Amino acid sequence: MTGEHAKPDADAGAETGNSAAIAAAFADGPAYVPYLAVGDPDYEASKAYVEALDRGGADVIELGLPFSEPIAEGPTIQGALVRALDAGMTPDRFFEFAEGLDVDAPLVCMTYYNLIYQYDEETGPRPFVERAAAAGIEGLVVPDLPAEEADPLREACDEFGLDLVFIVAPTTVGERLDRIMSRVSGYVYVQARLGTTGARDDVSDQTTESLDRLADYDVPKAVGFGISSGEHAERIVAGGADGIIVGSALVDIVADGVENDLSTEAVAERLESLSRELKEGAERGHAARAEAPDAS
Amino acid sequence: MSESDTRTAEEPDTAVPSRRPGRERGRDDGKFGRYGGQYVPEALMPAIEELTDAYERYVLNNEDGFMDEFRERLADFGGRPIPLQRADRLSERYDREIYLKREDLLHGGAHKLNNALGQVLLAKYMGKERIIAETGAGQHGTATAMAAAHLDMPCEIYMGERDINRQRPNVFRMKLNGSEVNPVTAGRGTLKEAISETMRDWATTVETTHYVIGSVVGPHPFPVMVRDFQAVISEEAREQSIEKTGGLPTDVVACAGGGSNTMGSFAAFVDDEDVALHAVEAGGSTLEVDEEAGVAPNSASLYTGAEGVLHGARTKLLQDSDGQIMESHSISSGLDYAGVGPELAYLVDEGRVNPVAVDDDAALEGFHRLSRTEGIIPALETAHAFGFLEEHHEELGERVVVNVSGRGDKDLDAAIEETDKRDIDEAPDMSMFTGGI
């Protein structure tokens, strides 16, 4: 499409980012960025789960605010979002949740544009971003918002000091890539392969190619989609990623807890333990990269 | 298309598709005022860009004779042109000329084939090897399955599990035509989940696969492309009206769910400012909304909806105050969708299209009235347009065209069940149908 590609008036903070905490998370070593759907399977358990991620070494935490039509998610995360909605999660409850969390890692909200757009009587993204900032949210990821439509949200994020993270797919090249990278801040979410979210255990060639394509852009690159083990995390970081984003493998643990009626403590323990494994894997990958003579 | 006599000044000046401003709308950038756009995951953007390029080359510029082949196949396989028939008894009843555009006579029994055939053929020109589509009640799925069989393309249809159980004959029709039907169990298992699931498939298979969307909804270029394929309805009706009556109609009436038959019926008339355009939505059981349950017991997104973003486009939606999409409801499953095409949302805001809602009762009465008085059993979707005619004919001009978007054979079970619940004058005695067949 063509549309107006008005450039954002600033260079959108691509070098610095708006959130010092997110910048710091990527500054020393690889960032482990876990995702959970907020309110899955209920408010209190979800709070315990997110805090377990933090204890397990999370550098940034992505909190999914559930939308009824999550077109970018695979069945695992879609299931989590449905459970959360059924348990009564709403945007206002989400912000209360974020305010009540006892975590060190900066929080990023991942949701769909309609919820951002509709948040207040005054339609448009500004009221949502203002409320998110007040709740301590440091960044947003909006999978159904293309760069072409993002300027109003970009402006609101700049006004309230949030980062706006964009997803780059293996098929994102040329002008589209430039358009996205001129609006991104905080980190860029590198989609490891075509398709939707879901845990898989291979490392795709598409990941390496994407990282090569992004090498010249001065913003941290966090690879997501399908990372499920420490070994997997290690290979991704050794391949050049500045961080790893893990969603479905963690959501699977929550889903398993629901299916098998496990205690909140047991599920939280498993989340913390997988988090440690992933974080350590990422750190091994980082060390390997430092040692490799031909690291690019 | 065909030669037509030139006795009136209203005659379009050429036989090729009109290039007037209203028809151009949205073609360049996918925007209809504040509506439209491309709100899709990044992984789908290359597919959308490739499709936009193909739409411009083949549909707008007739590259490789695409539009010629499309029209030829619509004629030979589909049975076009479709008649514009004077409805004698309705004309008498309402004391104005009522004309019926008989899309129910198109192959498959509904207007759906115009779009499905166009898109499957386009996929072939694009070198795609596989077709996917979503379906709610099964009308778009069956049309796509027919077109795919006709053009020898493998085809998979996503359909909510609940809808599969409710629409077994349509599932069988798709399978008869060689399509696979994939049940969607995610979420609540209806049309909107099926659309989301088809988008997910497309996100992993964009290189080989074309997604045949079923209405004038979704990201650009779907709304303009589907409109252009369906515009044959109004292109024919406009010409036929001039030929048969010496002039344009005063009013055009079409039912509206997602809006493909609606935009198809309106497209060639949008620039004829004296022709009033009425989009008849499903008022369901009531226009009230149950915010707590997230349910709107209607599908009247033009009439009652608010602006928002769903399935790739900014448009008018049924949503709660948080922006969560509501479950819609209608006696006719084909109108049962929480969104509507962005161009219709725009035309309503501009005052060019009059949105109206007709409830389940009035639609069912319209179903019986048309069946009894004109010998045409309409789809329950279409029946809403006849409910409107009954309630509002006095506000209409002297010559009204109603689009009969589909035939009612598919709805007979629902019609028996729903009629039995009500006391409808024109309905047959139901006792022999409801006692245990």
Q: Does A178 touch chain B (CB under 8 A)?
A: no
Nearest to B186 among A78, A144, A167 (CB): A78
Chain A residues whose beta carbon lies within 8 Å of the beta carbon of residue B319: 114, 118
Quote the pLDDT of residue B262: 98
In this predicted structure, the answer to whether residue A1 has a pLDDT above a threshold of 50 is: no
Quote the pLDDT of residue A22: 97
Quote the pLDDT of residue A10: 39
Quote the pLDDT of residue A194: 67
**A56 within domain boundaries:** yes
Chain A residues whose beta carbon lies within 8 Å of the beta carbon of residue B43: 72, 167, 169-171, 191, 194-195
Handedness of CA A189, A195, A199, A204 (dihedral sign): negative
Q: Where are the domains of chain B?
A: 43-78+112-226, 84-108+231-428
Chain A residues whose beta carbon lies within 8 Å of the beta carbon of residue B342: none
Q: Work out the pLDDT band at B139, boundaries 50, 70, 90.
A: very high
User: Across residues A208-223, what is the average pLDDT?
Assistant: 91
Mutate to test the interface with A, among B32, B39, B220 (most CBs of A within 10 A): B39
- Burial group, residue B6, by CB count within 10 angstroms (0-12, 13-18, 19+): exposed
Q: Do domains B43-78+112-226 and B84-108+231-428 have the same CATH topology?
A: yes
Rounded to whole angstroms, the Cα distance separating B199 from B218 reads 10
Mean pLDDT lowest among A23-37, B2-16, B158-172 = B2-16
- So which residues of A are the catalytic ones? 62, 73
Quote the pLDDT of residue A167: 95
Are residues A193 and A225 in contact, defined by beta-carbon separation less than 8 angstroms? yes
Q: Work out the pLDDT band at A28, boundaries 50, 70, 90.
A: confident
Taking CB atoms and an 8 Å limit, are A69 and B312 in contact across chains? no
Query: Minimal Cα–Cα distance from B40 to chain A, Å?
Result: 5
pTM: 0.91
Alpha helix (H) residue ranges in B178-324: 191-205, 222-230, 232-245, 260-266, 301-304
Query: Minimal Cα–Cα distance from B64 to chain A, Å?
Result: 23
Residue B429 tokens, joined:
């005695």
Rounded to whole angstroms, the Cα distance separating B280 from B283 reads 9
Partnered with residue B256 across adjacent β-strands are B281
Question: Which amino acid appears at position B70 of this protein?
Answer: F
Taking CB atoms and an 8 Å limit, are B41 and A167 in contact across chains? yes
B392: CB partners within 8 A, 6+ apart: B278, B356
Question: In this structure, how many other beta carbons lie within 10 angstroms of the beta carbon of residue B40?
Answer: 25
Query: Minimal Cα–Cα distance from A253 to chain B, Å?
Result: 19
Instruction: Count structural domains, chain A.
Output: 1
Partnered with residue A141 across adjacent β-strands are A110, A165
Taking CB atoms and an 8 Å limit, are A171 and B45 in contact across chains? yes
Taking CB atoms and an 8 Å limit, are A195 and B206 in contact across chains? no
Q: Work out the pLDDT band at A202, boundaries 50, 70, 90.
A: low
Residue B102 tokens, joined:
């008989």
Quote the pLDDT of residue B290: 79
Mutate to test the interface with A, among B42, B161, B321 (most CBs of A within 10 A): B42
Taking CB atoms and an 8 Å limit, are B196 and A146 in contact across chains? no
Please identify which of the residues B112, B128, B316, B410 carries the catalytic annotation.
B112
Rounded to whole angstroms, the Cα distance separating A278 from B180 reads 40
CATH number at residue A142: 3.20.20.70
Quote the pLDDT of residue B6: 40
Q: What angle do CA A173, A176, A178 make, to 5 degrees?
A: 90
Cis before A127? omega within 30: no
Are residues B86 and B97 in contact, defined by beta-carbon separation less than 8 angstroms? yes
Q: Work out the pLDDT band at B433, boundaries 50, 70, 90.
A: confident
Taking CB atoms and an 8 Å limit, are B323 and A117 in contact across chains? yes
Rounded (10°) angle between helices A91-100 and A43-55 = 40
Residue A205 tokens, joined:
């060639």
Mean pLDDT lowest among B241-250, B288-297, B298-307 = B288-297
pLDDT tens string A98-152: 999 999 999 999 999 999 999 998 879 999 999 999 999 999 999 999 998 999 9
DSSP per residue over A33-54, as a string? EEEEETTSS-HHHHHHHHHHHH
Q: Work out the pLDDT band at B336, boundaries 50, 70, 90.
A: confident
Chain B residues whose beta carbon lies within 8 Å of the beta carbon of residue A170: 43
Q: Work out the pLDDT band at B7, boundaries 50, 70, 90.
A: very low
Chain A residues whose beta carbon lies within 8 Å of the beta carbon of residue B323: 67, 91, 114-115, 117-119
Range of the domain at A271: 29-290
User: Across residues B35-54, what is the average pLDDT?
Assistant: 92
Rounded to whole angstroms, the Cα distance separating B307 from B310 reads 10
Quote the pLDDT of residue B436: 52
Quote the pLDDT of residue A181: 95
User: Across residues A35-60, what is the average pLDDT?
Assistant: 98
Nearest to B322 among A71, A79, A118 (CB): A118
Q: Is B260 a catalytic residue?
A: no
User: Across residues B291-313, what is the average pLDDT?
Assistant: 88
Rounded to whole angstroms, the Cα distance separating B283 from A201 reads 49
Partnered with residue B132 across adjacent β-strands are B156, B211
Mean pLDDT lowest among A63-72, A96-105, A136-145, B193-202 = B193-202
Taking CB atoms and an 8 Å limit, are A149 and B325 in contact across chains? no
User: Across residues A280-288, what is the average pLDDT?
Assistant: 96
Number of H helices, E strands in chain A: 12, 9
pLDDT tens string B149-162: 999 999 999 999 88
In this predicted structure, the answer to whether residue B22 has a pLDDT above a threshold of 80 is: no
In this predicted structure, the answer to whether residue B277 has a pLDDT above a threshold of 70 is: yes
Nearest to A69 among B41, B46, B325 (CB): B325
User: Greater confidence, A170 or A264?
Assistant: A264
Percentage of residues in chain A having pLDDT higher than 90: 75
Q: Does A124 touch chain B (CB under 8 A)?
A: no
DSSP per residue over B47-62, as a string? HHHHHHHHIIIIIIS-
User: Across residues A178-182, what is the average pLDDT?
Assistant: 94
Are residues A179 and A172 in contact, defined by beta-carbon separation less than 8 angstroms? no
Mean pLDDT lowest among A78-82, A86-90, B15-19, B145-149 = B15-19
Quote the pLDDT of residue B19: 40
Quote the pLDDT of residue A200: 54
Chain A residues whose beta carbon lies within 8 Å of the beta carbon of residue B39: 113, 144-146, 149
Chain A residues whose beta carbon lies within 8 Å of the beta carbon of residue B41: 71-72, 143-144, 167, 169, 196
Q: Does A172 touch chain B (CB under 8 A)?
A: yes
Greatest pairwise CA separation for chain B in angstroms: 59
Residue A293 tokens, joined:
């003579």
Rounded to whole angstroms, the Cα distance separating B286 from B284 reads 6
Q: Does A146 touch chain B (CB under 8 A)?
A: yes
Quote the pLDDT of residue B288: 82
Quote the pLDDT of residue B73: 98
Quote the pLDDT of residue A196: 55
Pick the CATH number of B43-78+112-226 from 3.40.640.10, 3.40.50.1100, 3.30.70.260, 3.30.70.270: 3.40.50.1100
Pick the CATH number of B84-108+231-428 from 3.40.1410.10, 3.40.50.10360, 3.40.50.1100, 3.90.550.10: 3.40.50.1100
Nearest residue of A to residue B52, measured between CA atoms:
A1
Residue B305 tokens, joined:
């909806």
**A24 within domain boundaries:** no
pLDDT tens string B398-420: 999 999 999 999 899 899 999 99
Taking CB atoms and an 8 Å limit, are A1 and B199 in contact across chains? no
- Burial group, residue A87, by CB count within 10 angstroms (0-12, 13-18, 19+): middle
In this predicted structure, the answer to whether residue B37 has a pLDDT above a threshold of 70 is: yes
Mean pLDDT lowest among A87-101, B287-301, B369-383 = B287-301
| Beta-carbon contacts below 8 Å between A and B | 128
Residue B250 tokens, joined:
């005063």
DSSP 8-state class, residue B209: E
Alpha helix (H) residue ranges in chain A: 20-27, 43-55, 75-86, 91-100, 113-117, 126-134, 151-160, 174-181, 205-214, 230-238, 248-259, 264-291
Summary mean pLDDT of chain A = 90
Quote the pLDDT of residue A5: 33
**A16 within domain boundaries:** no
Q: Work out the pLDDT band at B437, boundaries 50, 70, 90.
A: very low
- Collapsing DSSP to helix, strand or coil, A21 comes out as helix
In this predicted structure, the answer to whether residue B68 has a pLDDT above a threshold of 80 is: yes
Residue A49 tokens, joined:
């789960």
Quote the pLDDT of residue A177: 93
Q: Work out the pLDDT band at B333, boundaries 50, 70, 90.
A: confident
Chain A residues whose beta carbon lies within 8 Å of the beta carbon of residue B49: 1, 176
